[in-house]
Structure 1
Amino acid sequence: MSSASKEKTLILMRHAKAEEGHGKPDHDRELAPRGRRDARAAGKWLHQEGLVPDLVICSTAERTRQTWEEACHGGAHTEFVEFRRSVYVGGSEQTLETVREDGGDTTTVLVVGHNPTMAQLTSLLADGEGSREAHEALGRGFVTSGLAVLRYAGEWADIDLGTCELLRFHVSRGHED
């Protein structure tokens, strides 16, 4: 079986709830307390679902870095994390290009990014294919700590619009301790 026919998983995650800006540069905004709880809940969900990324591609923004860090405290795990400015400054096409370039031989890639890019990229990649329930959930909004799980068959270098199926859309919400 060649790697081209190997099924791959792409998980697109929107960062958790961030603090208000209040004079702080957008790139430096940190997670709000609720965001930290939600990100830990996302990590727990990823762990429970057996979704273990071979590679995490994370925006360079502080809130996305903290989202992945808190997800790891919740049980998420990966061997490799790449921080990419393209995921922070770029839109759907630039983020997709980063996945093409960084994906390599991995089977599961998770991108921690921002809206509207995460929502647009999910819709463009799946183009209505996959779980109706997942598409309906996505249609209600790609809110903070949202996770879209997509299936793709092919090489990462060839991933393109309309080549994936949306399997799941999950919103993680933590509870106050």
Structure 2
Amino acid sequence: MSSAAKDKTLILMRHSKAEEGLTKPDHDRELAARGRRDATAAGSWLREEGLVPDLVICSTAVRTRQTWEHARSGGAQAEFVEFRRSVYTGGAEGVLETIREDGGEMETVLVVGHNPTAAELTSLLCDGEGSHEAHEALAQGFVTSGLAVMRYAGDWADLDAGTCALHRFHVARG
């Protein structure tokens, strides 16, 4: 097994609670006060769990960028952060392709994105594999500030349906 094929961690995070979008384009919606608190709590949880992404792939939407910014203020860290419009526009297949292309030699990748894409991609990748408790929590809905932590053994370029196991599902509230 090559060094790139050793166990990896993929974390899909749905952005935190955003303001209602009645007065501005969806892409420009900002976090609500609760969203800022929850994103900070998500960062604290990532730090406490020892989940330090080598790469964060973040949607270009304002609310996802702010989610990662507040997670960092809560203690989350990352080696590299990339902003990809494909996480905003690409749906599950587009995000999957972005992870395949950008993952490289990284051991832990965190995607800050949107629903229903986060739920669809988690279901696609895990196909029921992993922790029963995590799947039960996820079945309640991939709510704002939800984090799906998956394990994967392979090269990111080969990431595909049914290749991950859902390890944890956590909803951060601050």
Tell me what 1:86 maps to: 86
- After TM superposition, give the deviation of residue 23 of structure 1 in Å: 1.9
2:55 aligned partner, one-letter code:
L
Tell me what 1:56 maps to: 56
Cα distance in 1 for residues equivalent to 2:33 and 2:23: 19
- After TM superposition, give the deviation of residue 5 of structure 1 in Å: 3.5
Q: Is the 8 A contact 2:150 2:168 kept in 1?
A: yes
- After TM superposition, give the deviation of residue 79 of structure 1 in Å: 1.7
Q: Is the 8 A contact 2:27 2:61 kept in 1?
A: yes
Q: TM-score, normalised by structure 1?
A: 0.97
Q: Aligned to 1:51, what secondary structure does the other structure show? A: coil
Cα distance in 2 for residues equivalent to 1:15 and 1:170: 13
2:71 aligned partner, one-letter code:
A
Tell me what 1:168 maps to: 168
What does 1:63-142 align with in structure 2 at a 5 Å threshold? 63-142=63-142
Cα distance in 1 for residues equivalent to 2:124 and 2:4: 21
CA deviation string 1:88-131 (max 9, x = no partner): 01110000000000000000000000000000000110000000
Q: Aligned to 2:151, what secondary structure does the other structure show? A: strand
Q: Is the 8 A contact 2:42 2:71 kept in 1?
A: yes
Q: Which ranges in structure 1 are unaligned for 5 or more consecutive residues?
A: none
Q: Is the 8 A contact 1:130 1:165 kept in 2?
A: yes
Q: Does 1:31 align with 2:54?
A: no
Identity %: 79
- After TM superposition, give the deviation of residue 22 of structure 1 in Å: 1.9
Q: Is the 8 A contact 1:134 1:167 kept in 2?
A: yes
- After TM superposition, give the deviation of residue 2 of structure 1 in Å: 1.8
Q: Is the 8 A contact 1:4 1:153 kept in 2?
A: no
Cα distance in 1 for residues equivalent to 2:123 and 2:21: 28
Q: TM-score, normalised by structure 2?
A: 0.99
Tell me what 1:11 maps to: 11
Q: Is the 8 A contact 1:3 1:155 kept in 2?
A: no
Q: Is the 8 A contact 2:4 2:105 kept in 1?
A: no
Q: Which ranges in structure 2 are unaligned for 5 or more consecutive residues?
A: none
